């Protein structure tokens, strides 16, 4: 194997950054909207109801975004396989930035009445629609530029954008929460949404500067572009789509429970405020940022599937350790709990870009991965906080919630055993027999 040239390395770096910034924006919006829906939007957009009902109505708009994602996955997946990854990603980023900026500019209920929550739902639907194709496209832009030996580590670098977006959103809203309530409700909550425009502009410049991926360029050159990719996906690859959707449950549910539900659990289960829980959560996210590329590099040596299965297996048991350590209410032990579960999450999630994209052939890859990944998000991320809250209300403890996470991880482990890479997608390695991905 020849060493990559300087131009190849530059092309890869551009692709990684262009993909990373999109993933960062996606999770910045996801986390920021979740915080605003939990603590602010009920008062701004649903003030005629009591506080509990207002918060529930506000949180329902959070779920609306997931309803639009499958539609976005279908549309952007179709055009990503028809006209190319680059054009589709530029379009999704522009739409995502426009919908988020619209949220920051919306008048409240006191200004325009019922039109305010209606417009909020419309903006959230647009945001969910655009995000539906964002992750799949961002992943392909990196993996298809990576070559045979770098897919694991470069894909893992893209996934650090999820943690970067989470941290940026929490820091932005911590500053907002420090404002007097009147200022926070009148203009302060708008600032984090409007600031995302800066990230969008940076991402747009980056995506306009990159080339189309070699894989899609080859498909186009061969005249192998499918007229309607979804038909082939549903006809010939529906089992792979379902396996992919189940395989992502472990990472999706564990990430959402540890970063979103943990704040609720801190209040109702531990008697701790948001600042106390964020004081543990945010430092622990460093573990994810460090471990993702490490596990990605390991996967490039020993195999994507092996690292994925190790991560899923660890997440069967780590939720119990996490909750037990949180229950001590001691900062050091709580931090250790977050660190442990984040190591398991990082191992499982690091290889998702390279692993999940390569289970589909290039002509239908964007469509297949986007649909499978989005279905998995709805089954994992979207419902996880509601399931956890219901389990706590029914049992008044954390064991059932840990059991729920373990079941999700076990399902992902089983799906991972059956989710095989085609022989043509296996990276050629020469170090040792152990480094060969087994199918």
* pLDDT, tens digit (0-9, with 9 covering 90-100), for 91-123: 988 888 888 889 899 998 888 888 888 888 888
pLDDT band at 259 (very low <50, low <70, confident <90, very high): confident
The DSSP code sequence of 158-213 is: HHHHHHHHHHHHHHHHHHHHTS-HHHIIIIITHHHHHHHHHHHHHHHHHHHTSPPP
Contact 219, 363 (CB under 8 A): yes
Cα 301 from Cα 282, distance rounded (Å): 31
- Residue 178 pLDDT exceeds 70: yes
- Residue 439 pLDDT exceeds 60: no
Contact 217, 99 (CB under 8 A): no
Cα 346 from Cα 356, distance rounded (Å): 15
pLDDT band at 438 (very low <50, low <70, confident <90, very high): very low
Cα 155 from Cα 297, distance rounded (Å): 10
Contact 322, 258 (CB under 8 A): yes
pLDDT band at 47 (very low <50, low <70, confident <90, very high): confident
Residues in the chain: 439
- Higher pLDDT residue, 72 or 52? 72
- Residue 290 pLDDT exceeds 90: yes
The neighbour count for residue 392, using CB atoms within 10 Å, is: 18
Residues 6+ apart with CB under 8 A from 99: 123, 124, 126, 127, 130
Cα 208 from Cα 280, distance rounded (Å): 38
Kindly give the interhelix angle for 214-221 and 134-146, rounded to the nearest 10 degrees. 90
How does the average pLDDT of the chain come out, rounded? 85
Contact 47, 107 (CB under 8 A): no
Residues 6+ apart with CB under 8 A from 187: none
- Higher pLDDT residue, 78 or 260? 78
Report the share of the chain in percent with pLDDT over 90.
29
pLDDT band at 294 (very low <50, low <70, confident <90, very high): very high
CA 259, 168, 152 angle in degrees (round to 5)? Answer: 70
DSSP conformation class of 381: I
pLDDT band at 53 (very low <50, low <70, confident <90, very high): low
Contact 73, 378 (CB under 8 A): no
pLDDT on residue 295: 95
pLDDT on residue 263: 79
Q: Quick: pLDDT tens for 380-427.
A: 877 888 788 889 888 989 999 999 999 999 999 999 999 887 755 554
φ, ψ at 253 (rounded to 5°) = -70, -40
pLDDT on residue 408: 96
Contact 303, 362 (CB under 8 A): no
Q: Quick: pLDDT tens for 193-247.
A: 998 888 889 888 888 888 888 888 888 888 888 888 999 998 989 999 999 999 9
- Higher pLDDT residue, 249 or 377? 249
- Residue 167 pLDDT exceeds 50: yes
Cα 360 from Cα 369, distance rounded (Å): 7
- Residue 46 pLDDT exceeds 50: yes
pTM: 0.83
3 state DSSP class of 143: helix
The neighbour count for residue 172, using CB atoms within 10 Å, is: 19
- Residue 285 pLDDT exceeds 70: yes
- Higher pLDDT residue, 57 or 435? 57
The DSSP code sequence of 218-241 is: HHHHTT---SSHHHHHHHHSHHHH
- Residue 436 pLDDT exceeds 60: no
The neighbour count for residue 83, using CB atoms within 10 Å, is: 15
All domains of the chain in start order, with CATH:
15-212 (1.20.1250.20), 229-439 (1.20.1250.20)
Contact 314, 251 (CB under 8 A): no
């Amino acid at each position: 194997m020849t060493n990559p040239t300087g131009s190849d390395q530059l092309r890869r770096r551009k692709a990684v950054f262009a993909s990373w910034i999109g993933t960062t924006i996606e999770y910045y919006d996801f986390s920021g909207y979740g915080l605003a829906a939990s603590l602010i939007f009920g008062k701004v957009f649903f003030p005629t109801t009591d506080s509990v009902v207002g918060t529930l109505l506000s949180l329902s708009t959070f779920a609306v975004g997931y309803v639009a994602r499958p539609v976005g996955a279908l549309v952007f997946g179709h055009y990503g396989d028809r006209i190319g990854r680059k054009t589709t990603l530029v379009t999704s980023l522009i739409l995502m930035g426009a919908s988020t900026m619209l949220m920051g500019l919306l008048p409240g209920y006191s200004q325009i009445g019922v039109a305010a929550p209606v417009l909020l739902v419309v903006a959230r639907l647009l945001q969910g629609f655009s995000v539906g194709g964002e992750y799949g496209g961002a992943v392909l832009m990196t993996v298809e530029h990576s070559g045979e030996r770098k897919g694991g580590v470069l894909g893992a670098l893209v996934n650090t954008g999820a943690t970067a977006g989470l941290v940026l959103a929490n820091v932005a809203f911590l500053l907002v929460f420090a404002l007097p309530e009147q200022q926070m409700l009148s203009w302060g909550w708008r600032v984090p949404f409007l600031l995302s425009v800066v990230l969008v502009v940076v991402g747009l410049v980056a995506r306009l500067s990159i080339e189309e991926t070699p894989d899609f360029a080859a498909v186009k050159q061969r005249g192998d572009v499918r007229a309607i990719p979804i038909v082939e996906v549903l006809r010939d690859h529906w089992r792979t789509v379902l396996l992919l959707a189940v395989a992502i449950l472990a990472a999706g549910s564990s990430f959402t429970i540890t970063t979103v539900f943990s704040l609720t659990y801190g209040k109702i289960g531990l008697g701790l405020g948001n600042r106390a829980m964020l004081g543990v959560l945010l430092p622990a996210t460093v573990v994810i940022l460090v471990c993702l590329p490490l596990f990605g590099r390991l996967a490039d040596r020993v195999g994507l599937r092996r690292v994925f299965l190790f991560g899923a297996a660890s997440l069967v048991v780590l939720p119990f350790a996490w909750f037990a350590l949180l229950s001590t209410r001691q900062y050091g032990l709580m931090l250790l709990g977050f660190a442990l579960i984040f190591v398991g999450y990082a191992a499982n999630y690091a290889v998702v870009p390279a692993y999940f994209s390569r289970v589909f052939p290039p002509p239908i890859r964007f469509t297949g991965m986007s649909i499978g990944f989005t279905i998995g998000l709805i089954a994992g991320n979207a419902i996880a906080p509601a399931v956890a809250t219901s389990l706590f209300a029914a049992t008044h403890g954390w064991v059932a919630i840990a059991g729920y996470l373990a079941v999700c991880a076990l399902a992902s482990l089983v799906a991972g055993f059956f989710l095989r890479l085609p022989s043509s997608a296996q990276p050629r390695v020469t170090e040792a027999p152990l480094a060969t991905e087994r199918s």
